[in-house]
Chains A and B, each alone.
Chain A
Amino acid sequence: AQKVTQAQTEISVVEKEDVTLDCVYETRDTTYYLFWYKQPPSGELVFLIRRNSFDEQNEISGRYSWNFQKSTSSFNFTITASQVVDSAVYFCALSEAGSTLGRLYFGRGTQLTVWP
């Protein structure tokens, strides 16, 4: 069964702190894709990153970095030197290449609040 778990419901940090959002997934497919989205109060889901299951190389984009570890089925997201504008709900999602291609399985999201 496909499942995405974001154990952290809410995280609060002070500006400039580093913060890591955890994501653990379950799938039986060998080919799958992992995503992170940001949902600000406006409601629109903003695409941040997509990784495929064959590419475990970590990625850095500015203050954002992602750590993909197949051995622990985790795809964690770190924000370095957080800013108030990072406050949002962050969703981790899984998509499989098999019969459910095109369908995203979402975690319940982590509400990140960054205080000035």
Chain B
Amino acid sequence: KAGVTQTPRYLIKTRGQQVTLSCSPISGHRSVSWYQQTPGQGLQFLFEYFSETQRNKGNFPGRFSGRQFSNSRSEMNVSTLELGDSALYLCASSFTGSGEQFFGPGTRLTVL
């Protein structure tokens, strides 16, 4: 069974640009969550989608948005990038959200 995949693995952007990250969950999983990991703040929850609906959202500004498609694939978008958005972005998939959550390899975003 294929694991969670994330693309791209690395991104370099400049301030003010926008970026879209993609996550493909494990086949059959309907819940996808996104996390931001930085040395200063640790692992912080961005949002969670289940069956194309955002079920939970963390404390991030509106520049961070996401969506989930009918095949459970998910994208997150960050608009008007700031230096502080440089981080490792991880997505996790699970069957329902309460079960085991499996993480992808992450997308490392660098904002210059």
- Which of A's residues lie within 8 Å of B, judged by CB? 33, 35, 37, 42-47, 50, 91, 95, 97, 99-109
CB of A44 within 8 A of CB of B103, answer yes
CB of A104 within 8 A of CB of B55, answer no
Inter-chain residue pair count (beta carbon < 8 A): 62
Q: What's the nearest-Cβ distance from chain A to residue B41, in Å?
A: 9
CB of B106 within 8 A of CB of A108, answer no
Q: What's the nearest-Cβ distance from chain B to residue A71, in Å?
A: 23
Instruction: List residues of B (15-69) whose CB comes within 8 Å of A's CBs.
Output: 31, 33, 35, 42-43, 45, 48, 50, 55-56, 58
Our pick among B48, B50, B102 for the contact of A47 (Cβ within 8 Å) is B102
CB of B98 within 8 A of CB of A33, answer yes
* Main secondary structure on B side of the interface with A: strand
List 26 A-B residue pairs with CB atoms under 8 Å apart, sorted by A's residue number.
Answer: A43-B88, A43-B105, A44-B105, A45-B90, A45-B92, A46-B103, A47-B101, A47-B102, A47-B103, A95-B98, A97-B98, A100-B56, A101-B55, A101-B56, A101-B98, A102-B33, A102-B55, A102-B56, A102-B97, A103-B45, A104-B45, A105-B45, A106-B42, A108-B42, A109-B42, A109-B43
Given A101-B56, A102-B98, decide whether A43 and B31 contact each other with a Cβ distance below 8 A: no
Write the chain A residue with the least CB distance to B88. Answer: A43
CB of A44 within 8 A of CB of B104, answer yes
**A-B residue pairs, 10 tightest by C-beta:** A102-B97, A45-B103, A102-B48, A106-B43, A44-B105, A103-B56, A101-B97, A108-B42, A103-B45, A50-B100
